[in-house]
Chains A and B, each alone.
Chain A
Amino acid sequence: MSDKPSPVFLERRSYRQRRLVDAARLLPLAGALLWLVPLLWPQDSGPDVAQQIPAVPTSSAIIYIFGIWIILVLSAMFLSAMLDHKSDLRYQGDQPENRDT
C-alpha cells in the first residue's frame, strides 16, 4: 500500500475535528466503564453481608444508571452536531485500524 506522506501538523480546524473523532471513539468505552461500576456495589448476598455494608437501594441504582444514560445521550448529541458532515471522507485516510493488518 502506497501511503502518501501526510502532513505532520494539521490546520486548527482539522485538528479539532480529529480530536472530536477521538472523543466519539472513546465515548462508548467511557459509557461501558461507568455502567460496569455497579459491579463494585455491595450486595445483600455474598461477602458484603458479613461486613454489614447495606446494599445500594434500587432507587439510587436507577438514578445512577439512567443518569449515565442521559449524559451519554447528550454527549453523543453534542459530538454528532460538532462532527463535520464531510469528515467521513476527509478522515478516512488517517485511521490506522482501517489499514492493512
Chain B
Amino acid sequence: MGTLNILIAVCLAYVALLFGVAFMAERAALKGRGNWLRSPWIYTLSLSIYCTAWTFYGAVGYAARSGLEFVTIYLGPSLVMVGWWWALRKMVRIGRTQRITSVADLISSRYGKSGLLAVCVTLLALIGITPYISLQLQSVTLSFSSFAVSDAEGAALIAAHDTALWVAIGLALFTILFGTRNLDANERHHGVVMAIAVEAVVKLFALIAVGVFVVWGLAGGIGPMLERIDASEIGAWQMDRGRWFGLTFLSAAAFLTLPRMFQVLVVENEDEGHLRTAAWAFPTYLFLMSLFVVPIAVVGLELMPAGANPDQFVLTVPLSQGQDGLAMLSFLGGFSSATSMVIVASIALSTMVSNHIVMPIFLRVTRGGASGPSDVRHVVILARRISIGIVLTLGYFYYKISGGGTALAAIGLVSFAGLAQLLPAMMGGIFWRGATRNGAFAGLVTGFVLWAYCLLLPQFGGGLPVAVVEQGPWGIGWLRPHALFGIQGMDPLLHAVMWSLLLNATVFVLVSIASFPSPLERLQGAQFVNIFEHSNNPQSWSGGVAQSEDLMIMAQRILGPAEVQSFFQAEAARQGLAGFLPEPTPDFLARLERELSGAVGGATAHAMVAQIMGAATVSVEDLLAVADETAQMMEYSSQLEAKSNELTRTARQLRAANDKLTKLSVQKDAFLSQISHELRTPMTSIRAFSEILRDADGLKAQDLTRYASIIHAEAIRLTRLLDDLLDLSVLENGQVNLNIREGTLADVISHAIAAAGADMHPLKVRRIGPASDIMLRTDLDRLAQVFINLIANAQKYCDAERPELVIEVNRRSGRIIVDFIDNGTGIAPDAQGMIFEKFYRVSDRQAGGAGLGLAICREIMDRLGGTLGYLPGQGGAAFRVSLPVAQWMAAR
C-alpha cells in the first residue's frame, strides 16, 4: 500500500509540476520573454512525442518477442529527419507560409481548400488515432497494476477506482487548459510544448537510468551484457526480411503523416532553422531511447518468471530487484510518454475536428450569419474543448470495450498503417503539381477501405465474421482480407500495408492524371510545389464592394478585437488610409484569410471570407476580372500620362503666347512713338511751308509751286497713312464690301507688277507656273492689292546685289498657291512670327511705311477665304498666298 500511495503522490506532484511548467511558459511567452522557448532544443525535445508509452514499455516487449525488429520503428523517423532537406524543409515552409493548422488542413488546402477532403482526413485520423489513445490509457493502467502486484490492498484500490478514467479526465483537463487557452493565429501552444519537452527529458532519463542499472548493475558491464544478449533466446539474428523493410518504411511514412507529429513538426515550429538542429539531435534522441531496449529485454527474460508481461519489463525488472526509486522514475517515464502523446494527439485531432467538421456545420447552420449574434471565437474554442473531450472519451470507451489487448505494439502499427494512407496525397501534393483533388480523394478512400478491411477489422473486436476472414466475402477466395488476389502466407500487417498503399498511390496517380483540377486547385498546387520560389500570396480575392466592416466584425469574433483592430489598422496604413477600415483589396483579403486560417483552418477561413465577400470560389472569371482591373489601371495611368503631356504642351503654348504678347506690347509702344513721328513729320512740313506761304512776301512763282506741291505731297502721305489705318480697321471689323468679279490670275499678277512699278525698279520679276489659264471669281482689286504689297515689300527690303523676285503659281490639293520668293536675306526667325502683326516693322532703318501692309494683306486674304503665310527656308523672304478651291472651281 505504501508504495502505491507514494506512487500516486509522486504522480500528482509530477502532474502539478507539468501544470506549473506549462503555466510559466505561457506567462513567459505572453510577456515576450519566451526566447528560450523558441530554442531548437525545445523543438527537438517536443518531437519526442513520437516515443509514446508504446515505445517506452512496448519496445522492450517487442524486443523480447522479436529481437531487433523493434528498432525499425526508430530507423524510419531517423532517416526522415536526416533527410530533412527533402521533405520536412518543404513541409515546414508550406506550413508556415500557408498557416497550416493540421495535416487535414495541409491536404485540404493543397487540393483547392476542399472541405470534403478535410473531413475525410479528419475521420481517418480519428479512426486511426483513437485506438492509439486508448493504448496510452491502457499502458498507464497496466503500469499502476504492475506496482500493485506486490500489494493486495493496492490492487483492490486500483480495481475500485478506474485508473484509466481518472487519467483520461486529468489529461482532458490539462489539454483543455493549455491546448485551447488561446486562439492564437499561429496555433502555437508554448505551455504545452514546454511541458512535453520536460516530459521528453524525463522519459529519456528514466529509460537510460533503467538501462544503465541493467547493464552495469545487473549484467556487470558492456562485455558481459553482449555475451548475455548472444546467449539469450533472441541471441541470433532472426528477421522477417519483409517486415524489416516494411516497418522501416511504415514508420518513416507515419512520422510524416501522424497528426501529432505534424502538430509538433510543422504547426508548432517557430523557426525553419530549428530543423537543422533537430535533423541530427532527434535521431540522437531516438538512438538513446532504443540503445538499452535489448539489454532490458534480455535481462527481463532471464530474471522474470515465464508468464510475465514483457511489455512491463521496464517497470518490473527494477521492482523485482527492490529498486523502488528507479521503478518510480521508470513509471514517471512511461507516464510522461503516455500523457505527452495523448495531449498533443488530442490537440491535433481537436483542431481538425473543430476546424473541418464542427465549424463548417456551424457556418452552414447559421448561414448568412457569420456576422450573426453568436460569438464565433467562442464557438471555435468551445468546439475545440468539446472535441478534446470527445476524443478522450472515444479513447476511453475503446479501451473499455476492447478490454485491453496484450500486445501493445500491434495497435500502434495498425494505427501507423492507417495514417500512412495520407502519404501519397501529401507527398504528391507537395512534389507533383498534377495531383488533383479527385485523385487524392479516390486514393484516400481506396487506401482507407483496404486498411480497414485487411487490418483494422480482422484485428480488433471481431469486426469481420470468421467466415469472411477464412473464405472471403461470399466465398470469393481472392478477396480474403489476409490474402488479397490469392497472395497467401504474407505477414498480415505487411500484406495490408503493401496493398493499401500500393493501390492508394496507383488510384491517386491514375485519377489525378485523368481528372482536371479546378483553378483554385491549380493555384494552390503551384503555391505548394514551388513554395521556395513563390511569394507567400496564396490566392487573390477580387474584392470590389466595401465590406471591410463586415470582415472586421467577423474577424473580431474569431481572433479577438485587439488583434483584429491592430491588424486592420496596419493594413489600412499599408494602403495609405487613415483609420481602421482598409479597402478590401485582394492582397488584404488574402492576408486576412491567412490570419483566420491560423485559427479555423484554410477551408473554413476561405468559406467565411467568401460568405462576406459574396464569392464562393475564385473562378477563372474572377481571375479575369482581376486581370481586367489591372488592365484598366494601366489604361487609366496611360490616360493620366497623356493628360499630363497635354498639360505640358498647353503650358508651352501659353508660354509662347505670353512671350508674343510681351513682344507685341513692346511693338505697340514702339509703333505709337513711330506713328506720332510719322504723323508729325508731314504735319511739321505742312505747317512750316504753309506758314512760309502765308507770311513771306515776294515769293517766286517757282518757289510757290514747289512749296505748295510739298504741302500737297505731305498731305497725300498723311492721307495714305490714315487710309491704311482706316482700311485695316474696316477689314478687321468685317465691314468690307467685296466687289466680286471674274478674271484670270495672270491678269491680276500682271496688273500688280505694273502697279508696283516693277518695270522701272531694279528688282527683276520672274513668273513661273500656269497662271494664265486659271480663272478666278473673287475681289480682283483686293487680291491685286495683296500682290502689290508683296512685290513692293520685295522691292523695299530685298537686299541682294541683283534683286530678283520669283512669282510661282501652283495648284495643290484643291488650292491655288502663289509664292512670292525673293533672293534677299529673308526675315530673321524670331521675327517671322511677328511680321503679320499690325504696326510691325522689320527694322526702323527702312522707313517705308507704318508697318500695316502685311497686316492688311492677311486681313484681305481672310476675307477672300484664303491665307497668307510666311514660307521659311526658301533662300530669301518668301510669302505664300493660297486661295481656296471654290474660287477657281467656279471659274472654270
In contact, B86 and A28 (Cβ under 8 angstroms): yes
Q: Give chain A nearest CB distance to B269 CB in angstroms.
A: 14
The interface residues of chain A lying within 8 Å CB-to-CB of B213 are none
B253-298 CB contacts (< 8 Å) to partner A: 272-273, 276-277, 279-280, 283-284, 287, 291, 294
Which chain B residues lie closer than 8 Å to A32 at the CB level?
Answer: 79, 248
Interface stretch, picked from B12-20, B526-534, B647-655, is: B526-534
A56 near B68 with CB under 8 A, answer no
Q: Is B216 an interface residue (CB 8 A)?
A: no
Are A55 and B237 in contact, with the CB atoms below 8 A?
yes
- Say which residue of B84, B244, B283 sits within 8 Å of A38 (CB atoms): B244
Check: B636 CB closer than 8 A to any chain A CB: no
Contact of B291 among A44, A66, A83 (CB under 8 A): A66
CB distance from B340 to the nearest CB of A (A): 23
B contact residues around A42 at 8 Å (CB) = 237
Which B residues lie within 8 Å of A44 (CB)?
A: 236-238
Q: Tell me whether B244 and A93 are in contact (CB under 8 A).
A: no
User: Please, what's the 1-or-0 string for A3-21, where 1 marks a CB less than 8 Å from any CB in chain B?
Assistant: 0000000000000000001
Q: Across the interface, do B294 and A25 meet the contact criterion of CB distance under 8 Å?
A: no
Contact residue among B82, B86, B284, B530 (Cβ-Cβ distance under 8 Å from A99): B530
Q: Which of B68, B226, B248, B529 contacts A98 (CB 8 A)?
A: B529
Closest to B430 in A: A98
Counting chain B residues whose Cβ lies within 8 A of the other chain, the interface size class is 35 or more
The distance from the CB of A61 to the nearest CB of chain B, in whole angstroms, is 5
Docked complex: A34-63 residues within 8 A CB-CB of B: 35-36, 38-39, 41-45, 55-62
Cβ-defined partner of A45 (8 Å) among B238, B277, B291, B526: B238
Contact of A35 among B75, B81, B234, B432 (CB under 8 A): B75
Q: Which residues of A contact B529 (CB under 8 A)?
A: 98, 100-101
The answer to whether A76 touches B280, judged by C-beta atoms less than 8 angstroms apart, is yes
Q: Which residues of B contact A83 (CB under 8 A)?
A: 276
B 86-111 contacts with A by CB, 8 A: 86, 89
Residues of B within 8 A of A21 (CB): 85
Q: Is there an interface contact between B78 and A43, defined as CB atoms closer than 8 Å?
A: no
Which of A24, A35, A41, A95 sits near B532, CB closer than 8 Å? A95
Query: Would you list which residues of chain B between 282 and 332 have a CB under 8 Å from chain A?
Result: 283-284, 287, 291, 294
Which residues from chain A contact B78 at a C-beta distance below 8 Å? 31, 69, 72
Contact partners of A95 in chain B: CB under 8 A: 532
Q: How far is the CA of A2 from the CA of B151 in the complex (A)?
A: 75
Q: A28-B79, A69-B283 are in contact. Are A62 and B229 (CB under 8 A)?
A: yes
Q: A80 to B276, Cβ gap below 8 A?
A: yes
Task: Name the B residues within 8 Å of A69 (CB-CB).
Answer: 78, 283, 287
A55, B277: Cα distance in complex, Å: 38
Per the bound structure, the CA–CA distance linking A48 and B81 in Å amounts to: 35
Nearest-neighbour CB distance to chain A for B591, whole angstroms, equals 21
Give Cα distance in the complex from A47 to B71, angstroms: 25
Cross-chain contact B287 with A93 (CB below 8 angstroms): no
Interface size class of A (residues with CB under 8 A): 35 or more
Most buried by B among A32, A44, A75: A32
Tell me the bound Cα distance from A21 to B89 in angstroms.
Answer: 12
B515 to chain A, nearest CB (A): 16
Contact of A72 among B239, B283, B526 (CB under 8 A): B283
CA A85 to CA B226, docked complex, whole Å: 42
Q: A45-B238, A65-B71 are in contact. Are A59 and B280 (CB under 8 A)?
A: no
Bound Cα distance A92, B67 (Å):
43
A85 to B434, CA, bound (A): 32
Contact in complex: A98, B433 (CB < 8 Å):
no
Cβ of B460 under 8 Å from chain A: no
Task: Mark interface residues in B472-507 (1 if CB within 8 Å of A CB, else 0).
Answer: 000000000000000000000000000000000000
Among A59, A62, A65, A76, point to the contact of B279 (Cβ < 8 A). Answer: A76
Q: How far is the CB of A20 from chain B (nearest CB, A)?
A: 10
Tell me whether B235 is interfacial, beta carbon within 8 Å: yes
Q: Tell me if B85 and A24 are in contact (CB < 8 A).
A: yes
Are the C-beta atoms of B533 and A36 separated by less than 8 Å? no
Q: CA of A7 to CA of B33 in the docked complex: distance in angstroms?
A: 45
Residues of A within 8 A of B273 (CB): 85
A27 to B83, CA, bound (A): 7
Residues of A within 8 A of B71 (CB): 65
Task: List residues of chain A with CB within 8 A of the CB of B248.
Answer: 32, 35
From residue B597, how far is it (CB to closest CB) to chain A in Å? Answer: 23
Given the complex, which residues of B lie within 8 Å of A66, measured CB to CB?
A: 287, 291
Binding site secondary structure of chain A: helix
Known contacts A57-B230, A58-B67; A93 and B533 CB within 8 A of each other: yes
Residues of the A chain whose Cβ atoms lie less than 8 Å from the Cβ of B36? none
* C-alpha gap A66/B284 in the complex (Å): 10
Residues A70 and B82 in contact in the complex (CB < 8 Å), given A43-B239, A80-B280, A98-B529? no
Check if B532 sits within 8 Å of A39, measured CB to CB. no
Q: Is B166 interfacial (CB 8 A cutoff)?
A: no
Q: Are A41 and B277 neighbours in the complex by a CB distance under 8 Å? A: no
Binary per-residue interface labels of chain B (574-589) against chain A in the complex, 1 for a CB within 8 Å, 0 otherwise: 0000000000000000
Question: Which residues does chain A contribute within 8 Å of B239, judged by CB atoms?
Answer: 38-39, 41, 43
Cα separation A83 to B89 with both chains bound (whole Å): 14
Instruction: Name the distance in Å between B76's Cβ and chain A's nearest Cβ.
Output: 9
Question: Across the interface, which residues of A come within 8 angstroms of B86, CB to CB?
Answer: 25, 28
Q: Which residue of A lies closest to B433 (CB)?
A: A101
A76:B82 contact, CB within 8 angstroms: yes
A25 touches B83 (CB 8 A): yes
Q: B237 near A31 (CB under 8 angstroms)?
A: no
Given contacts A31-B79, A39-B244, contact A59 B226 (CB under 8 A): yes
Given A35-B75, A69-B283, A85-B273, residue A59 in contact with residue B82 (CB < 8 A): no
How far does the Cβ of A82 sit from chain B's closest Cβ, in whole Å? 10
Quick one: closest B residue to A20, CB to CB?
B85
Q: Pick the residue among B245, B272, B280, B432 that contacts A77 (CB under 8 A).
A: B280
How many angstroms between the C-alpha atoms of A65 and B290 in the bound complex? 11
How distant is the Cα of A41 from the Cα of B273 in the complex, in angstroms? Answer: 39
Distance in angstroms between the alpha carbons of A99 and B533 in the assembled complex:
9
Question: Given contacts A28-B83, A85-B273, A88-B89, is CB(A73)–CB(B291) below 8 Å?
Answer: no
B794 within 8 A of A: no
Are B433 and A100 in contact, CB atoms less than 8 angstroms apart?
yes
Q: Is B241 an interface residue (CB 8 A)?
A: yes
A38-B237, A101-B433 known, 5 other contacts, Cβ within 8 Å: A31-B79, A32-B248, A65-B71, A73-B287, A85-B276
**Chain B residues at the A interface, C-beta cutoff of 8 Å:** 67-68, 71, 75, 78-86, 89, 226-227, 229-230, 232, 234-239, 241, 244-245, 248, 272-273, 276-277, 279-280, 283-284, 287, 291, 294, 431-434, 526, 529-533
Jot down 17 A-B pairs with beta carbons below 8 A, ordered by A. Answer: A21-B85, A25-B86, A28-B79, A31-B78, A32-B79, A38-B237, A41-B239, A44-B237, A55-B236, A55-B238, A56-B237, A58-B234, A58-B237, A69-B78, A92-B532, A92-B533, A100-B433
Binding site for B on A (CB under 8 A): 21, 24-25, 27-29, 31-32, 35-36, 38-39, 41-45, 55-62, 65-66, 69-70, 72-77, 80, 83, 85, 88, 92-93, 95, 97-101
Closest 4 CB pairs of A and B: A28-B83, A92-B532, A76-B280, A59-B226
